Structure 1
Amino acid sequence: MPGISALRAWWTGRPSAAGAAVMATGIVSIGLHLTGAETLSRIALGLACAGWVALGADFVVRLVGQRRRWVAEARSPGALTAVAATTVLGTRISLLGGQTLAEALLALAALLWPGLLLLVVRHWERRMPGTVFLCCVATQGLAVLAATLAAAETTAWLAHAALVLFWLGLVLYGLALAHFDRRQVVEGAGDHWIAGGTLSISALAGAKLLSADSARLYLWNDDDRGVLRDVTVALLVLDLAWYVVLLAAELARPRPGYDVRRWATVFPMGTTAAAMLSVAVALDVDWLQGPGRVLVWVSVAAWLAAAAGAVLAARAGTGTSTGGGGDGTTPGITSTARR
């Protein structure tokens, strides 16, 4: 059947970076939960879980039956979406009360993280697209999930491990920034937004670390808490500055065609909203709630646009893009793996 053949062609041509769709859906679910839109949040969570299972099964199939392709994709930054997507999903499940499942997802992400991180970093080049920041996103995703579980289960060692990952993530951000091609801000096909999204998930990790503290745990003294608070606020401010710059670049040079990397635009939008709402609670800054709620719905609108593009691409069987590569390359597995 033509429809099934087109869908099969689209799925076969799907790059490893498609895990950003699960990341985007999961973070939108978290944002909706923080605004109280629980029904919509659970629908998004269901979609994220379905996507994660499908991508996980495909990950195993490629590992067993397409080893050369799996190794090539494991070296690309997009491979780290496997870790990031798992941590985002685990964080939402933890917020839902499923701590055992969230712990299992944390263990799985922690198992995948070091090997993939080393493979990816060893193959960095001088000028890279926004996916170079996924090393930091995956690391901070682990910090967010560990801190969330630490608060839910009153476990100090998890919070301390999350703090180490938080600082490591910031170091990785600095290293990735040195390899980022600044021209991607006006030429990127969507993944350039991760340059700002990395700061938003870092701010979210900081907020989770602050919220994990309690009289029972007493994780941080006044000095530690003060430093963590200042760094978290600075990260949020820098993230919002990136948000404005990236949005202005989109308006100055519109890139309307669908590309699978557009999911990497939705994720930073959703993470910025979640970070703003979480910082508002952690630091008791009520006025951040309003803008945070607005940004949640902006991310929902971006998610709907990306989903519509993905459906049209799947029906057409065009693989990663219905427009162009967005960065002067031919869209598809070859260009994505090379990145």
Structure 2
Amino acid sequence: MPGRPASHAPAADSPLGAWWSTRPPAAGSAVMATGIVSVGLHLTGYETLSRIMLVLAVLAWVGLAADFLARLATQRDRWLEEARTPGALTAVAATSVLGTRVSALGRQTLAEALLALATALWPVLLVLVMRHWKRRMPGAVFLVCVATQGLAVLGATLAAALSTAWLAHAALVLFWLGLVFYGLAFTRFDLGQVTRGAGDHWVAGGALAISALAGSKLISADSASLYLWNRDDGDALRTVTVALLVLDLTWYAVLLAAEFARPRPGYDVRRWATVFPMGMTAAATLSVAAALEVSWLRTLGQVLLWIAVAVWLAVGAGAALTARTGIAALRSTGRR
């Protein structure tokens, strides 16, 4: 998603505030990327690193949430314009990812609050975004699936933590709905983005990854006390989850090959939408390995996780450099 026109940037009290006000809705993918890397590190036992990533994700989420509310209160036209772009759905996905990690900390009340917030945002943003779909769209079009499956992941996670059957069944409905949205989004996706996309083309695979993660969470949520799925339902859920992971890994290979064939160096905020699918593929692989008790998948998930961490560091360095340059330029302009 391109950045906003300069005319949209409001006056700010400081260069940092002015720079922050120019962040596009796609900036939410940085929270998604950081949050899912935190989840992956937690799943592999690197708890200290996981919590550091979680703190960074929370800080970014709070900043973006404050900006979201400020625009809603003072710049309604601008808020509505941005809410119509696919990147707006990162608000739902990022909140769901954070809720999933918070639940793993045992903070179920906070996780429930984040689920309620994400659920309230989801239908509003979903309708606004889908009403403005076009043909030959970038990979951000798949955020309709990502946002929906994010709710399914958090719902299934809480269902297991709280032993709440209705929440698991609601998550199952969202899981299947998310797959429908993936199919609809694919018909609008410009496949040429695979070789020329600026980073968000990776969401084509990331949407399948979070779908596989949702499936694994639904499988893991079942227990003798809840008895969520009968044998046929459980077998179908396992089959679909494995198929989703295979398709995701296939997309991963294709997208990675395209990056080597057509390198696209240089920082772009949409590169956070590359880190997120990489981290999500790792987390999905680790979660499926645990749910289905497939040990070699855990090894693969660990390898994919460290690749995601390395890419996160590279994109993070690019973001920091770009921010420093942008703030310096605004400071210089303010002195004139």
- Unmatched 5+ residue regions in structure 2? 1-12, 329-336
CA shift for structure 1 position 68: 1.1
Matched, 1:32 2:52: no
- Unmatched 5+ residue regions in structure 1? 320-339
CA shift for structure 1 position 13: 1.6
Residue 114 of structure 1: aligned partner: 123
3-state SS of paired residue (2:37): helix
Kindly report which structure 2 residues correspond to 1:44-63, keeping only aligned pairs within 5 A, or say none.
Answer: 44-63=53-72
Residue 6 of structure 2: aligned partner: none
Question: Counterpart of 1:83 in structure 2: which amino acid?
Answer: V
Matched, 1:211 2:220: yes
**Counterpart among 199, 204, 210 of residue 208 in structure 2:** 199
CA deviation map 1:153-205 (0-9, x unaligned): 10000000000000000000000000000010001000000000000000000
Kindly report which structure 2 residues correspond to 1:93-242, keeping only aligned pairs within 5 A, or say none.
Answer: 93-242=102-251
Structure 1 distance, partners of 2:222, 2:272, is 33
CA shift for structure 1 position 5: 5.5
Structure 1 distance, partners of 2:305, 2:56, is 17
Structure 1 segments of 4+ aligned residues over 3 angstroms from their partners? 4-9
CA shift for structure 1 position 10: 2.8
Kindly report which structure 2 residues correspond to 1:241-252, keeping only aligned pairs within 5 A, or say none.
Answer: 241-252=250-261
Structure 1 distance, partners of 2:26, 2:76, is 17
Question: Counterpart of 1:212 in structure 2: which amino acid?
Answer: A
RMSD across aligned positions (CA): 1.2
3-state SS of paired residue (2:282): helix
Q: Provide TM-score, normalisation by structure 2.
A: 0.93
3-state SS of paired residue (1:218): coil
Q: Provide TM-score, normalisation by structure 1.
A: 0.92
Q: Is the 8 A contact 1:6 1:314 kept in 2?
A: no
CA shift for structure 1 position 65: 1.1
Matched, 1:257 2:266: yes
More displaced, 6-15 or 247-256?
A: 6-15
Structure 2 distance, partners of 1:238, 1:18, is 27
Structure 2 distance, partners of 1:307, 1:9, is 20
3-state SS of paired residue (2:48): helix
Q: Is the 8 A contact 1:18 1:260 kept in 2?
A: yes
CA shift for structure 1 position 304: 0.6
Question: Counterpart of 1:101 in structure 2: which amino acid?
Answer: L
Residue 335 of structure 1: aligned partner: none
Structure 2 distance, partners of 1:86, 1:47, is 14
Structure 2 distance, partners of 1:5, 1:246, is 40
Report how many residues are paired. 316
